[in-house]
């Protein structure tokens, strides 16, 4: 049954600090909403539990992409369209730009936000593996001030996160040190866009003297949270890509993931595809990867 709008309260304070003051005064009462692309699905289905909503859509403090010498800071309210069209994101963080292009259709990309994708906490989210391999950090804001944490510790379990009820994500910080890495991103799903991933991967690699000097691999939709593969990465460092290494990497990746059977796919399929994507990345890194 569709929700009745009369049963909901929506306020729009208009600036960030008025929003965090409201969250501090009544913690756990107000649900922040930006583009609403996920929330409106629940609303239409009559399953939206929260009844008091505070709009953070288009707050100027959350819509900036700030470029510094050593990092960029992407406001949590930046849309997928903002990410697709920003020149530095396209040039230096192509994995994130690709994920933005896969997320929904153009209408959703105009409304959906990076911060919303993070706090929605779906393990199948397309943008989150990219944040893992880029070693993103999050700036969290509340009425008490700001704190900065690594994104890799933010998701603590399925739909659980390191975010207090009085906090918002203010921005996502990405270090500008991956320009010489070979980027690889793939999404396995019914379609590239407007379909939830069965498996998605974001990976970066760099060669030196023909051997793998550094490598970063993250997967989505294979565990309760987006997953980095540290054991597989350690196996690969210092090695030359060869058929034996590809097979070892396949096996290592399968031991690190926790796929499940659900309406979109099976655990067996996800494990096979994840292993194939890791191997494909290594093959392309060997063929096309750049040495510094």
* The pLDDT value given to residue 40: 82
* The pLDDT value given to residue 232: 98
* The pLDDT value given to residue 263: 78
CA dist 31 → 9, 23, 27, 170 (Å): 10, 9, 10, 15
Listed in sequence order, the residues at least 6 apart from 67 whose beta carbon sits closer than 8 Å to its beta carbon are: 88
Best CA proximity match to 173, nearest among 147, 199, 151: 151
CA distance 69 to 82: 20
CB neighbour class for 192 (10 Å; exposed up to 12, middle 13-18, buried from 19): middle
* The pLDDT value given to residue 96: 97
Q: Per the structure block, which two tokens stand in for 150? A: 């690594």
pLDDT over 70, % of the chain: 96
CA dist 159 → 37, 148, 195, 207, 228 (Å): 17, 20, 20, 36, 17
268 SS3 class: helix
Tens place of pLDDT per residue across the chain (292 aa): 678 888 889 999 999 999 999 999 998 899 999 998 888 888 888 888 888 999 999 999 999 999 999 999 999 999 999 999 999 999 999 999 999 998 878 888 999 999 999 999 999 899 999 999 999 999 999 999 999 999 999 999 999 999 999 999 999 999 999 999 999 999 987 666 566 788 999 999 999 999 999 999 999 999 999 999 999 999 999 999 999 999 999 999 999 999 888 878 899 999 999 999 999 999 999 998 755 5
Structural domains of the chain, ranges and CATH numbers in brackets: 5-55 (3.30.43), 60-175 (3.30.465.10), 182-288 (3.30.390.50)
Listed in sequence order, the residues at least 6 apart from 148 whose beta carbon sits closer than 8 Å to its beta carbon are: 137, 138, 139, 140, 173
* Other C-beta atoms lying within 10 Å of the C-beta of residue 101: 19
Listed in sequence order, the residues at least 6 apart from 5 whose beta carbon sits closer than 8 Å to its beta carbon are: none
pLDDT in tens, 218-233: 999 999 999 999 999 9
* The pLDDT value given to residue 82: 97
Q: Supply the pTM of this predicted model.
A: 0.94
- Among left, alpha and beta (phi > 0; psi -120 to 50; other), residue 28 is left
């Amino acid at each position: 049954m569709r929700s009745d709008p009369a049963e909901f309260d929506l306020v729009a304070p208009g600036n960030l600090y008025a929003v965090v003051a409201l969250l501090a005064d009544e913690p756990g009462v107000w649900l922040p909403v930006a583009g609403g692309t996920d929330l409106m699905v629940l609303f239409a289905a009559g399953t939206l539990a929260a009844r008091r909503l505070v709009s953070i859509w288009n707050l100027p403090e959350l819509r900036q992409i700030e470029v510094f010498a050593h990092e960029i800071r992407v406001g949590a309210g930046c849309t997928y369209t903002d990410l697709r069209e920003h020149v530095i994101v396209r040039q230096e963080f192509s994995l994130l730009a690709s994920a933005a292009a896969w997320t929904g259709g153009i209408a959703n990309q105009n409304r959906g936000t990076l911060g919303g994708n993070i706090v929605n906490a779906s393990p199948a989210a397309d943008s989150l593996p990219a944040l893992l391999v880029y070693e993103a950090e999050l700036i969290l804001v509340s009425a008490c001030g700001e704190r900065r944490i690594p994104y890799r510790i933010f998701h603590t379990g399925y739909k659980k996160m390191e975010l207090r009820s009085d906090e918002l994500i203010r921005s996502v910080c990405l270090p500008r040190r991956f320009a010489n890495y070979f980027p690889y991103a793939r999404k396995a799903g019914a379609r590239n866009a407007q379909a939830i991933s069965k498996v998605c991967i974001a990976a970066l690699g760099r060669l030196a003297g023909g051997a793998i000097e550094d490598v970063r691999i993250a997967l989505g939709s294979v565990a309760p949270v987006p997953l980095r593969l540290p054991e597989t990465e350690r196996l690969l460092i210092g090695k030359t890509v060869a058929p034996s290494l590809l097979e070892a990497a396949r096996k290592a990746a399968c031991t690190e993931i926790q796929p499940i059977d659900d309406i979109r796919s099976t655990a067996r399929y996800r494990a096979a595809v994840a292993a194939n994507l890791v191997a494909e990345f290594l093959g392309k890194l060997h063929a096309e990867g750049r040495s510094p």
